[in-house]
Amino acid sequence: MSFRPVYFTRRALEGMARGPYVALVGIATIFVALFATGLLAGALGGAERLLAAWAGEVKISVYLDPGTDLAASRAAVTAAAPGREVRAVPAAAALRQLSQELGDQAHVLDGVGPGVLPDSVDVLAPGIGLEEARSLAARLRTLPGVADVDFGNAWLEKLELLVSRGRIASVALFAALALATAVLVGNTLRLAVFARREEIEILKLVGATDAFVSTPFLIEGVLQGVVGAALAVAALLGVHAGLVPRLQVAVPLASVLRLGDTLPSGLLLGLVLGGAAVGLLGSAMAVVRTLRRS
Amino acid sequence: MIQLFHVTKEYPGDGPALQDVTVSVEKGEFVFLTGASGAGKSTLLKLIFCDEPATSGQLLLFGRNVAKISPRSIPYLRRNIGVVFQDFKLLPRRTVAENVALPLEVQSMVPKDIRRRVKMLLRSVGLEHRADKFPPSLSGGEQQRVAVVRALAADPALLLADEPTGNLDPERTLEVIELLTAANARGTTVVVATHDRSLLERYKRRVVTLERGRLVSDGDSVRRAAGEAR
């Protein structure tokens, strides 16, 4: 069989026009599955970005060994964290700050001298990511005179674990949704193939090969997948446009959210390609079964 | 062209539809295959156009053993065979012209040539003016003429017709048989399954008779038998 894309695409479009209900059901099935998948992926991407931004508010504190030159350490930290705001915090200032934070309970510090707290250097890193924070802390630890570096490791580790588990869950969910969609689309397209079994029988009667019979159905599946995915992408963009501004009003931290955080172009392209692949897989399953029986 | 040697066809849970049938059809012949309903005429045609395999025996088609032809090659073999059915088997949602064009599209003929050939074919059966109509809007005779023209569109070497006149009145019946005899005159081998005795009497052609799956007579003897029955 010579491949004639225009001829087969025309036949696929004619098939969809002759059975619009079945085509619409196929498109709707793919739309729902990809919209749900995209919504989940978008929500997860947005959550990751928000969590990263939240984590970015963390102040990285570099505690110095007793007797270390605070000014020299500040310079070293500035060199190690270029572009970041760096503040030298003498022990006395740290004690004063602690006293202020304790408020009415400040009397517990009565009798405590400034020597109880070490000198430190604070690095303010707004918008820094988790990995970057960890990498910066590791660099700071290697500086001379540094006793310890704290950037909220304990809760950040938990946060990272949570995000990582969310990522795994979303991949598993996506796989399950993709499989379920392929089966649903396969069943829907089986209806389309079944409705045209007479045409298939006659085509085979006049000498059509299996490839000749199945190609329009496969193209139909791809077209349904692409249309369903395009609608899902449009709906996701609509949800983003409607929801994110409201979220940004309600939660100031959400101001960092951009379209690329929730619906990156890679995700949108992936949804369209995924829709085409699911449509192709579903139609292939349907047409192979029918041809095997005819 | 067609050679059957001791061919038997059985369906599971049923008696044999064909039993030990040995018969051959030469190139350019016109053969009536006759017998009562259930005699095995349709089964024999199904074996010939490779719709079903024989249970035992050997069937040679165009000199090739059908049992040894791979499933992938069957479509290409069928392109040499035109088939006409009693129920026409036209696609109701495709126009007359599109129905006739099907075998040509399958064979990847250039669209311009397809249009030209379809026009010529429809003109030959007086249906050029019905080209854009859909089959359900045509009379039974017209639909069967379209089916015959479709079967002949790709100029097959062999034409099989299964009760092609079963749904037609006598006048339309003659029209259809005339189309088949005209194709035969152009060199196409024609096998027509029918239980219409009047056809056998009117057209003095070879007659192969089946009865309960067995070949009971072939050729002149049947003509004599038909004569005796009269």
What integer pLDDT is reported at residue B224 of this predicted model? 46
* B93 contact residues in A (CB cutoff 8 A): 18
> Among the three residues A151, A182, A207, which one is the final residue of a domain in this structure?
A151
Question: What element of type H or E holds B211?
Answer: strand B206-211
Is the Cβ–Cβ distance between A21 and A232 less than 8 Å? no
The Cα B177–Cα B192 span in angstroms is 9
In whole angstroms, what separates CA B55 from the centre of its chain? Answer: 22
> Does A127 score more than 70 pLDDT?
no
Kindly report, residue by residue over A157-214, the tens digit of the pLDDT: 676 777 778 778 777 877 887 778 778 777 777 777 777 788 888 888 888 998 888 8
Q: What residues of B are in the A interface, CB distance below 8 Å?
A: 49, 72, 75-79, 83, 89-91, 93, 102-103, 105-108, 150, 154
B38 located within any domain: yes
Domain span including residue B16: 2-91+141-229
Is the Cβ–Cβ distance between A148 and A75 less than 8 Å? no
- State the complex-level ipTM: 0.83
B127 located within any domain: no
Kindly report, residue by residue over B72-87, the tens digit of the pLDDT: 889 999 999 999 988 8
Rg (CA), chain B: 18
Mean pLDDT, rounded, of chain B: 88
B111 located within any domain: no
Average pLDDT estimate for B148-164:
92
Q: For residue B209, what pLDDT band results from cuts at 50, 70 and 90?
A: very high
Q: For residue B221, what pLDDT band results from cuts at 50, 70 and 90?
A: very low
- Whether residue B106 and residue A206 make contact (CB cut-off 8 A), yes or no, is yes
Is the Cβ–Cβ distance between B31 and B192 less than 8 Å? yes
Quick one: tokens of B67?
Answer: 């049992």
Is the Cβ–Cβ distance between B199 and B165 less than 8 Å? yes
Is the Cβ–Cβ distance between A85 and A102 less than 8 Å? no
Q: Which of B79, B102, B115, B149 to mutate to test the interface with A (most CBs of A within 10 A)?
A: B102
Higher-pLDDT residue of B171 and A226 is A226
What integer pLDDT is reported at residue B228 of this predicted model? 42
C-alpha distances out from residue A203 to A191, A222, B91, Å: 18, 22, 10
User: Please, what is the end-to-end C-alpha distance for chain B in angstroms?
Assistant: 32
What integer pLDDT is reported at residue B161 of this predicted model? 93
H helix and E strand count, chain A: 10, 4
Q: Tell me the nearest-neighbour CA distance from A189 into chain B, angstroms.
A: 19
Q: Are residues A211 and A264 in the same domain?
A: yes
pTM of the model: 0.69
Q: Which of A196, A205, A293 to mutate to test the interface with B (most CBs of B within 10 A)?
A: A205
Higher-pLDDT residue of A229 and B124 is A229
Kindly report, residue by residue over A45-78, the tens digit of the pLDDT: 887 777 766 665 667 889 999 888 889 999 999 9
The Cα A217–Cα A287 span in angstroms is 7
Name which of A1, A7, A206 is nearest B102 (Cβ-Cβ).
A206
What integer pLDDT is reported at residue B72 of this predicted model? 87
Does A18 touch chain B if contact means CB atoms closer than 8 Å?
yes
Domain tally for chain B?
A: 1
Domain span including residue A49: 5-54+157-293
Kindly report, residue by residue over A238-287, the tens digit of the pLDDT: 999 998 888 888 877 777 788 888 889 999 999 999 889 988 888 888 88
Q: Are residues A21 and A161 in the same domain?
A: yes
What integer pLDDT is reported at residue A223 of this predicted model? 92
Domain tally for chain A?
A: 2
What integer pLDDT is reported at residue A157 of this predicted model? 67
> Among the three residues A119, A151, A183, which one is the final residue of a domain in this structure?
A151
